Structure 1
Amino acid sequence: MRVRTYAEAELPPDLAAQVADLEAQAWPGATPGHDPALAPRVMVLVDEEGAVAASLALLFKPVRHGGRTYRAAGLSAVVTRDTARGRGYGGRLVAAARTALAADPAVDLVLFSCDRPLVPFYEAAGFTRLPGTVLVGGTPGQPLATDAPGFAKEVLADFPGADTGAAAFAGARIALYPGLVDRLW
């Protein structure tokens, strides 16, 4: 198994079709792809025959918080092929994403949300849960917050290039506002 990373617009057609398949299995009816304004990169874990076992997207945008602007990245659309689950492929890919983002000098902060039962999965890859933190996605005119009724979300983070840590973000409302395509990355 090898991890490969592509700008979403440069994802080879055979891999793009497989990623779209995986996402359709996980989120039926969702439109594949991400907002180009978020400079999406796709990471895939592929076997020797070129079959995608797991995929995720990395999204990027500046985030203003506490009087500062951070160069933020987030994980989105993390999925493992249903027939490959339980083998550690998703964890391997998420850990590779964390390593890649930590090595990227253009990233100060990694922020994303997940369903509560998935918190241990992301913590095992090195991300930190931010208790009480709320990401506000969508747009200022059409916000979507992780504490909206019916959501059971937690916020996780990593601070590879920030001179601050979890304490500056714990218990905070963070205006992510990635737009209407990737409402909450």
Structure 2
Amino acid sequence: RAAAWRASPRMAHALIVQNKGGGHGEIGFHLAKALRAKGVDVTIVQDDGAKATKPPFSEYASELSDCNIVWCSPKDGAAVSAALAGKPPLTHVFENYAKEPADCAPALAAALASPDFKLFTFVSSAGMYKAKGELFEDGPVKEPPTGQREVELPPPPKPPGGLC
């Protein structure tokens, strides 16, 4: 898989859809730094509900000056499309925002529109688990499932006739 991350004659371009805070903010920030270090072009669609004066968001200008950072609602498909306008085709999407399945739609639409798209990664958090303290991926989840868990579940089967 490492070969997928190397810059090629056609630049790799990753979209990071970034949550407004908590651990998600740090994940997206450090992911962007790591991708840039590998020569990957990075666009961050940053939830405009985040506090720009708090880390890591306050470090965007100094630490991620070579990234395209757009503050908007990640649920706004037109805003996500505008953030990607004029940029290389997407190769990777890191969905670090969605709390329910519909939240992924703008990023997924952008990925599917790209002829070079390779990988969609959904980033979840510990908020879906029951336990406190040390958590395990196969540990019990909250019931009913949180929206994050619903995003991870396979989509329901299509009805007969192929209708949505």
**TM-score scaled to structure 1, two decimals?**
0.29
Q: Higher strand fraction: Structure 1 or Structure 2?
A: 1
**TM-score scaled to structure 2, two decimals?**
0.31
